[in-house]
Amino acid sequence: MLRLGRREFDAHEPVIMAIVNRTPDSFYDQGATFRDEPALARVAEAVSEGAAIIDIGGVKAGPGEEVTAEEEARRTVDFVAEVRRRFPDVIISVDTWRHEVGEAVCEAGADLLNDAWGGVDPRLAEVAGRFGVGLVCTHAGGARPRTRPHRVAYDDVMADILRVTLGLAERAVSLGVPRESVLIDPGHDFGKNTRHSLEATRRLGEMVSTGWPVLVSLSNKDFVGETLDKPVKERVLGTLATTAVSAWLGARVYRVHEVAETRQILDMVASIAGHRPPAVARRGLA
């Protein structure tokens, strides 16, 4: 069972996490939701399209202008509180690696801390345990926050992913994070080249078989762009294909920009797998 915030999810229930960046320089939307009004409109749209989780980030993943913990908190904490006020049932996630920011957003009402940099600040898991919120445990290959991989190599990339994420997950539980609220993430593009991310996708079933719910963050990433030789704005189809494969292999949570399109992909895969009936079944029955 997966439990986040007020929600419990069945074993075969896919969960959409919608991205809302509170940054002026995000790689995909270029600051479209930096200001409060468009960001809140984005939340309302994502919820209406089927997102159960809103993932709020105050620092873009890639290199760029320095963002202090104070500035990151300024971009996220009050917004978390407002989203909690307007959408009391939505699951609020915050994408941060810093324990100071994690503590502040938990006090404001966050339900989940999305640690995309793989425990680089070990105190973040302590914060999650103290507040009893969920935690995403990600493989980042030992990379420092906001750095790009350079000639990174693994003897076996999935073996390393399992070693790191399972270790982080067990540590989180030992610190008080509810076991049913811990997710593991292979960390596509984080500390990996394109071939590593493709292999992580191909072997995702090995993560699923551990019993921990698996989160995948695939949306419009560089490994999709390099695989198809497409710029950022032309990666949606590749993202959705990768989403379908991940769903078939058993991933549970999908961090995305395109919510409505992802919902259709996940519903179709679930119906093919026999976990969801068709929305309408008239053909051959009239």
Q: Is the pLDDT of residue 286 over 90?
A: no
Q: How far apart are CA 95 and CA 20, in angstroms?
A: 10
Distances (CA, A) of 35 to 70, 81, 284: 17, 15, 51
**pLDDT tens, 40-67?**
999 999 999 999 999 999 999 999 999 9
Q: Is the pLDDT of residue 3 over 90?
A: yes
Q: Please list, in sequence order, all residues whose beta carbon lies within 8 angstroms of the beta carbon of residue 37, skipping any fewer than 6 positions away.
A: none
Q: Is the pLDDT of residue 30 over 80?
A: no
28: tokens are 């995909």
The three-class DSSP label of residue 279 is coil
Position 27 scores a pLDDT of 76
Q: Any bridge partners for residue 115, and if so which? A: 137
Q: Is the pLDDT of residue 4 over 80?
A: yes
Overall pTM > 0.75: yes
* Active site residues per annotation: 221, 255
Question: Per mean pLDDT, which range of 19-28, 147-156, 226-235 is the poorest?
Answer: 19-28
List the alpha helices (DSSP H) in the chain. Answer: 36-48, 69-86, 99-108, 123-131, 157-174, 194-202, 204-208, 222-228, 236-249, 259-273
The average pLDDT across 99-117 equals 98
The average pLDDT across 267-275 equals 98
